[in-house]
Amino acid sequence: MKKTLIISDLHLNNSFDRELSHYIANLVRSVDQVIINGDFWDHYICSFDEFVASEWNQLFPILREKNAIFIYGNHDKAAFSDERVTFFSAKQVVEYTLHSGDKRFIIEHGNRIAPEMDDKHPTLANLFDRFYPRFYFYMMKDLWATRFIHRKFMYPKQEKLDVILQRYFSRLDDASVDGYICGHSHIFAASPTFKYYNSGYFFAGEAHYLIIEDGTISRHSEFYW
């Protein structure tokens, strides 16, 4: 039985985290297939040139060995990168259909359904370009302060995104689909009634991911620090 790993929203940049790199490498090695569901790297924190040249490139051959599928997100759109995406992925798409056992899963990042400012107003987003994310990821050095600020100020916005995603999928009526999987909101969620799952994110020492094996989804949340 093929074991498929689904990860999203790592927002890797030119600030390298060795512990996280080792964690990701071991996670990828433990499965048969990898699907990166968007926001693998972050254009608003570093350029694609910087990302490709960073120490994160140690992960590229490990991902290629698993023929990783790369689904573009809103922070790592096709327009932000070039043909070097093939360094870490065998296929690049905006939506992917996974067949596992007798089940069929539709996987996309989620920004098409719940767009944020960078999708709604790309020109305005470019004006602010990298100020906010650089502040968010670099200025807050204290781990507990980072988690507090994230939960206080970011979590409510992310919950709203997840509500939009869940409402969207609750209106779909396609018996041929057994699950819809998104990232984007950073909310590690599951609503089997709507056949909706969210793979969560990697941030501040916490990792969320999904494993699909023989048509069954298992949800995992771990600390890597």
Residue with tokens 């869940």, as numbered in its chain: 166
SS3 11: coil
Number of Cβ atoms within 10 Å of the Cβ of 135: 10
Q: What is the pLDDT of residue 143?
A: 58
Beta carbons of 71 and 98 less than 8 angstroms apart: no
Task: Provide the percentage of residues in the chain whose pLDDT is more than 70.
Answer: 86
Q: What is the pLDDT of residue 144?
A: 56
Average pLDDT, the chain: 90
Put simply, whether the predicted model's pTM sits higher than 0.85 gets the answer yes
CA distance 67 to 86: 10
Alpha helices in 58-203 (DSSP H): 60-65, 117-120, 122-128, 131-134, 143-149, 155-170
Tell me what the mean pLDDT of segment 17-24 comes to. 96
Task: Provide the percentage of residues in the chain whose pLDDT is more than 90.
Answer: 75
SS3 51: helix
Q: Nearest 5 degrees, angle CA 207-CA 211-CA 215?
A: 160
Tell me what the mean pLDDT of segment 24-37 comes to. 98
Q: What is the DSSP string of 111-134?
A: TTTS--HHHH-HHHHHHHTTHHHH
Sign of CA dihedral 208, 212, 218, 224: negative
Produce one character per residue of 100-131: b if its CB has 16 or more CB atoms within 10 Å, e if not: beeeebbbbbbbebbebebeeeeeebeeeeee
Q: What is the pLDDT of residue 129?
A: 58
> Which range is most confident: 113-122, 129-138, 204-213?
204-213
Paired sense of beta strands 196-198 and 190-191, if any: antiparallel
pLDDT digits (tens, 9 = 90+) for 145-182: 666 666 666 768 899 999 999 999 999 989 999 999 99
Classify residue 30 by its DSSP letter: T
Banded pLDDT at 111 (limits 50, 70, 90): very high
Number of domains in the chain: 1
Tell me what the mean pLDDT of segment 7-14 comes to. 94
User: What residue numbers bound the domain in which 196 lies?
Assistant: 3-223
The CATH number of whichever domain residue 56 belongs to comes to 3.60.21.10
Q: What is the pLDDT of residue 135?
A: 53
Type of residue numbered 197: Y
Q: What is the pLDDT of residue 137?
A: 54
Banded pLDDT at 126 (limits 50, 70, 90): low
CA distances (Å), origin 224, targets 10, 70, 136: 13, 23, 20
Banded pLDDT at 6 (limits 50, 70, 90): very high
Beta carbons of 159 and 189 less than 8 angstroms apart: no
Residue with tokens 């608003």, as numbered in its chain: 44
